[in-house]
A and B are shown apart, each in its own frame.
Chain A
Amino acid sequence: MSQYLLEIKNVSKFFSGLTAIDALNLKVKKGQIYGIIGPNGAGKTTLFNCITGIYTPEEGEILWNGKEIKGTAPDKIAALGILRTFQTIRLFAEMSVAENIMSGRHIKSNQKWYNGIIPTPAYYKDEKYNWEKVGEYMELFGLSEYATTPAGDLSYGVQRKIEMARALAAEPELLILDEPAAGLNENETKELAEIIRKIQDMGVTIMMIEHDMDMVMSLCEYMTVINFGAWICDGIPEHVQDNPAVIEAYIGVEDEDEDE
C-alpha cells in the first residue's frame, strides 16, 4: 500500500496535437485538502477528467492506493471511491432534490437484478436504508425543505450543495470539487468553506480547483499550480503565494476570472 492515496505520475493528455496536460506529477495524501490552481485553460478540469476516467491520458500513470487506474471507465472509478462535482453543475434537473441525492446511493445499494421486476424483503430493507441515508445528507447540507423540489428550480448556491451532497452520499474516499465556489456570493462561499471542512472531518480526502484565492489559501493544506498544462510549482499555500513564477502566471490576473 502506497503512502499516497492518489499519485499522478508524468501524465500527459493531448487533444489533436494540442498539449492539454504536460507530464504532470502530483501526490495526494489521505485526509488532505489538495488545491489545483492555475489560470483559465491551464488544464485543471482536464486533469480531473483524466482522474475520473472521462478522458484517458496518453502518457503517464494514475495510481489509486498504489494501483494503476488509467483508462478505467468513470463508473468503475466512482465504485473505487472517487466521486466528483462539475464546474458547470450537472444535476438531474427535472428530478427532485431527494432523487438527485439518491443517485449517490446507487453504488451502495445491494438490490439484485430481479428487484427491478419484483420486490423482496431484502429489497425493502435496502431501499428504506438508502432513503434514510438520503435524509441524513439532506440534513447535513440543509436541504431537507427542498426534498420534493425539482433540482433545476433552485438557486445556484443550493444546486452546488445538492451536487456535493449527491457525491458525498456515495461515501467517497476522495471527493473532487471543480470550482465549488463559482457563482456563489460571499455568504454562500463562507458556508461552503465550512461544509468542506466538515467533509474533511468525516475522513474524506478532497481535491479542488478554485479561483477564489481566499478560500483556497485558507482551506488547502497543499497545492499544485499549473499553467498551459505544465507544473509551475507546488507546496503549502504560504510557499506558493510567494513564488514569483506563480505570481507572474496567475495571481496577478486572479481577480478577473471568477466566473469561467
Chain B
Amino acid sequence: MSKTNMIALGFLVIMGVFPFFADSAWLAVGTTFLVFSVVAFSQDIILGRAGAFHMGHAAFFGIGAYTTAILNTHFGWPILATWAPAVILPMTVALITISPIIHLRGDYLLVATIGINIIFIQVLENDLFGLTGGPNGIFGIDVVRVFGFEFFEQTHMYYMAFILLGITLFIMKSLDGSKFGRAMFYINKDDVAAQSMGINIRYYKMYAFAIGAGIAGAAGSMFSVQYSAVSPEAFNVLQSIMFFTIVLVGGSASLPGVLIGTFVMFVLPEIFREFETARYLVFGLAMILTMILRPRGIWPVKFGNIPAFLKKDVK
C-alpha cells in the first residue's frame, strides 16, 4: 500500500472511532469539522481545481441549509425528502447567478461573488416571503427519520456527516480521474493553452461551480439538521473567507491539504478556546506565515497521478 493510502486509511479509522472517545461537546466539534471539510472540498473544486476566485461559497452552503429548514418547518417535509432539493437548488442558483460573471478574471470574479453572498444575507435578514425567519433564522428543524427510527443523537449526526464526507471524497476521486477534473486543472494552469486543446473554458468552470454548489448544499442540509436551527450569520462573507482560506492554507487541489486546512482553521481555534479572542492573533500570524513559507499550502498537491503502465520507462 502506498504511503498516501496508508495515511488516508489512518485518517478514516481515527475519524471512525472518534465518537467512542469524545464527550458531547467534542462530538459536536467533530461533526462540524466533517461538515466544514465537505464545504471546503466543494470550495476546492471551484477555487483549487478550476482556479476561479470564488468568495461567496457560504451562500451555496446556506441555500442548502435553508432549503432543508424551510421545507421541513414551513411545509412539513421529512428531512430525507429535503435532501435532493437541498442539492439541486444551490446548483440551480449557482448556474443562474454565476453564468453572467463566469468570464470575469481573478479579483473581478472575487468581488462579484462577494456581492452574491451579501445579497443572499440580505434576503435572509429581510425574511423573504415570511419564510427565512429574518435575523433570527429558523428553529425547530426535525431529525432524520427512516422507517420509524429517529436519528437524533450526536453520534448519529456524526456518522451521517462522516458518510457525507465519504461520498464527497468519492466524488473528488472520480473528478480527479476524469477528463472533467483534468480540464479544470488545464484551465487553471494556462487557459489559452487549454482552449487551444479544445477545452471549453466556460463549460468546465460552470461545471465546477455546479458540482461545488451542490456538495455545499448537501453539507448545508446536514448542518441545519445537526444544530436543528439555521441563522444568517453562519453563511455570511466571513464564512466564505474562511472556506477560501482553508483551501489556500491547506493546499489547493490537495485532498489531505484541504482536510488539514479545515483542521487548522476550525478545530485548532476550538482546542485553544481558553485563550479566547487572543487565539485569533496567533491565527492571523499563522496564515501570514503559511503564505510566505508555504505559498502552495501546508500539504501541496502532487501531480503525476497516471496509470502504472505509463511509468514503466521512468527512471
Contact = CB atoms under 8 A, between A and B. Distances in A.
B174 interface: yes
Contacts of A91: 190, 193
A117 B211 CA distance: 8
B315 A106 contact: no
B306 interface: yes
B309 interface: yes
Contact of A145 (B179, B180, B309, B313): B313
B244 interface: no
Interface string A117-143: 111000100011001101100100000
Interface residues of A, number: 51
B314 interface: yes
Contacts, number: 143
Contacts of A167: 197
Bin chain B's interface residue count: 35 or more
Contacts of A83: 196-197
A74 interface: yes
Contact of B197 (A78, A117, A119, A128): A78
Interface in A66-105: 73-75, 78-79, 83-84, 86, 90-96, 98-99, 102-105
A150 B304 contact: yes
A167 B190 CA distance: 15
A135 B309 contact: yes
B198 A86 contact: no
Majority secondary structure of chain B interface residues (helix, strand, loop or mixed)? helix
Contacts of B313: 144-145, 147
A98 B311 CA distance: 9
Contacts of A74: 192, 195-196
B48 interface: no
Contacts of B171: 117-118
Contact of A90 (B177, B179, B193, B312): B193
Contact of A92 (B174, B190, B314): B190
Interface of B: 171, 174-175, 177-183, 185-186, 189-190, 192-201, 207, 211, 303-307, 309-315
